[in-house]
Structure 1
Amino acid sequence: MGDILEITTRPRHHHVFYKFTANAINFEIKAEGNAALGISNKPEQNCEFLIGIGHNNRTWIKKVRGRGVYRETIDTPNILSATEYRRFWVSWYGDIIRLGVNGNSKPIVTFSSRTAELKYVTFLALDDVRNTVHWRIEVPPYIEKTYVMRPISGGDPYWVPYDRTTDFPDNAYIGGHENENLYIIRAEHNGSLTPGKYMTSKGMGYIPWGGEANSKLTFEVLCGFNFTWIPCKSTDTIPVGAVVGGYSEDPGKEKLYIGRSKYLEHLIPGKIQPSHKVCYIPYEGREIGLDKFEILVVPDDGKRCVNKFLIPGALIDHRIVFREEEQMNMDIEHAVNFEEYAGFLNPEVDG
C-alpha cells in the first residue's frame, strides 16, 4: 500500500517538491489558518498552478506562471480544523485540475490547466507567520526513475492471496485512483479469473463481469514494481510483455489482460478482453466498457514475433524480407530506430 508522508509547513519556508507520476494524490490537513499546494511541470520556486484551501474562508485554483493570472474560487468557511485532520484529494487528468474533499467523487473546484507533464507538487502555508500546517500525504513507495525499458531486478509481477484474515501486501501495485489509490486484483467468478480493483476505504475488491461490478472478499493482489502503462488503440495487437491477469469463462479460456481507463474524475483498472476490443472497469455497481484505455506491460525490448518486431507500445512492420532463421537471429536494435519511436518508450515508472 502507499506510504504516509507526514510533514509540517509554515509561511515563507523554502519550497520542497515531490514527484508524483500517478496524476493524483490523497492527503489530510490539520491547520488553524489555510493551506496550499503548488503543482508544476518543473521544480521551480514559481509554480505553474497554486491551490489555496481555506484562504480567507475561500478555496481556489489559480494559474501563476505565464500571461495574466486566472482563478476559480468558491466559498469554503470552516473547511480546515486546528484540532483534527480533514481529508482531501487532488487530480490533474486530461488538462483539468480538480480538488475534492472527504472521499466525495465530485470536485469542489476545477481549473482547466492546458499544461502537459504536471508532476511536481509542493505543500505550503500562506500569509500569517503563525499559520502552521500539518500534512499527511499518501504516496506510493519510492521507485528509482529508469530511462530505458529494461527489466528491473526483483520487480517482476506476482500475485498474493488475500482475505480479511491476512494483512494487505505492503508492495501491492497502485494501478489507479478513485478518490483514493486503487490496487489491482483478480478473483474467480463463474468459471473465469477476472482482474479488477481493490478499494481500501471499503475493504472490498470489485471485478467487472456480466454487466455488474461484483464485490469480492477473497482475491489475489498484484505485487511488484517493474511495470509501465502503454496506450492501446486496438486489441488486435497486444504489446509484448502485457500482463495476463486471468481468463474468461468461455470454453477457450480467452486470456484477459490488465487495463485501466479514465472515467469521470477517475482512473480505474479492470480487464481487457481482446475479442471484445474494450477495457471493462467496475464502477458504482456496474461493468463499463471503454474503447480508450492503457494496458499494463512488463518492459522487455528483446522479443519479436514472425514477420513483425514488437516492442512495448509499438507494432513495427518488418519491411525487408528475411529468411526465418535470419530474422530470428537478428538483433532488434539493428532493425528498429529507437529514436524514431521514442514516444512509445515511457522513461518513467508509474507510481
Structure 2
Amino acid sequence: MEFENIKEALFLISAPIETPNSVDYTWLPAGPEGIVFRVRAANDAHIALTSSEGLSNPMIEVFIGGWANSKSVIRKDQTKPDVFETPTPMVLDANEFRGFWIRWSNNYITVGRENEAAPFMSYSNPDSYPINYVGIRTRRGASGSWIIEEP
C-alpha cells in the first residue's frame, strides 16, 4: 500500500477513540494552540476546552452537528444562550470520518473544516484562561469514532 503523504499513513494506522452516547467527556491533553481531528458520528460531536481535566468552568464547548445534524454552536460555561450559532446541515456522517480543526490564540476561538482555511465558527472570549485539556463526546443518541491528528 502506498501513501501520498505521511499524514495519510498515520491516519490509517491511528486507533480511533470511541465515544458512546453519553454526557461524559473523554479528556485529552490540549496542544498549545489547537486541535485537528476527524470524527464519524450521526450527530452531536461535542468538544470541551478547559483549564483542568474534568467538567468545570471556565469552559468553552463546541457542538458540531447538533440539533439532529442541522447546526453547530459555541457555548460558554455550560449555559445558554450560545455565543455563536450557525446552520451546518449534514456536517457529520455516521459512516464517514469528517475532519475539523479548532484553534485558540489570544482568547479567540475558531472552528473550521478540514482543507478549509476560513472558519465556520468563531468567538472572542472576554475571559482569559489557559486551555490545557480537550474533552470529546457524542450525545443525543449518537456514538462516535474520533481520530485526533494534532494535539
Question: TM over 0.5, yes or no?
Answer: yes
- C-alpha deviations, 1:178-235, integer Å up to 9, x for none? xxxxxxxxxxxxxxxxxxxxxxxxxxxxxxxxxxxxxxxxxxxxxxxxxxxxxxxxxx
Q: Runs of at least 4 residues of structure 1 off by over 6 A? A: none
Distance 2:82 2:46 in 1: 16
8 A contact 1:23–1:119 mirrored in 2: no
**Mapped pair 1:77 → 2:89:** yes
Indicate the residue corresponding to 2:20 in structure 1: 10
Question: Which of 24, 30, 37 is 2:47 aligned to?
Answer: 37
Question: Which of 128, 134, 137 is 1:115 aligned to?
Answer: 128
SS in 2 for 1:37: strand
Distance 1:101 1:23 in 2: 16
Mapping for residues 254-273 of structure 1, pairs under 5 Å: none
Indicate the residue corresponding to 1:99 in structure 2: 111
SS in 1 for 2:102: strand
Instruction: Give the RMSD, CA atoms, in angstroms.
Output: 2.2
Distance 1:79 1:120 in 2: 24
8 A contact 1:89–1:103 mirrored in 2: no
**Mapped pair 1:124 → 2:134:** no
Instruction: Structure 2: state its 5+ residue gaps.
Output: 1-5
Taking only the aligned residue pairs, the percentage that are identical comes to 21
Distance 1:5 1:64 in 2: 31
Indicate the residue corresponding to 1:19 in structure 2: 29
* Displacement after TM superposition at 1:34 (Å): 1.9
Indicate the residue corresponding to 1:64 in structure 2: 77
* Displacement after TM superposition at 1:69 (Å): 4.8
Distance 2:35 2:112 in 1: 11
Instruction: Structure 1: state its 5+ residue gaps.
Output: 141-351
TM-score, normalised via structure 1 length:
0.36
* Displacement after TM superposition at 1:116 (Å): 2.1
TM-score, normalised via structure 2 length:
0.80
8 A contact 2:31–2:150 mirrored in 1: no
Distance 1:42 1:100 in 2: 24
- C-alpha deviations, 1:59-96, integer Å up to 9, x for none? 0111025x875420000001011111111000111111
8 A contact 1:17–1:122 mirrored in 2: yes
8 A contact 1:5–1:137 mirrored in 2: no
User: How many correspondences in the alignment?
Assistant: 137
Q: Which structure has the larger Rg?
A: 1
Identify the structure with bigger relative contact order (alpha carbons < 8 Å, sequence gap 6+).
Answer: 2
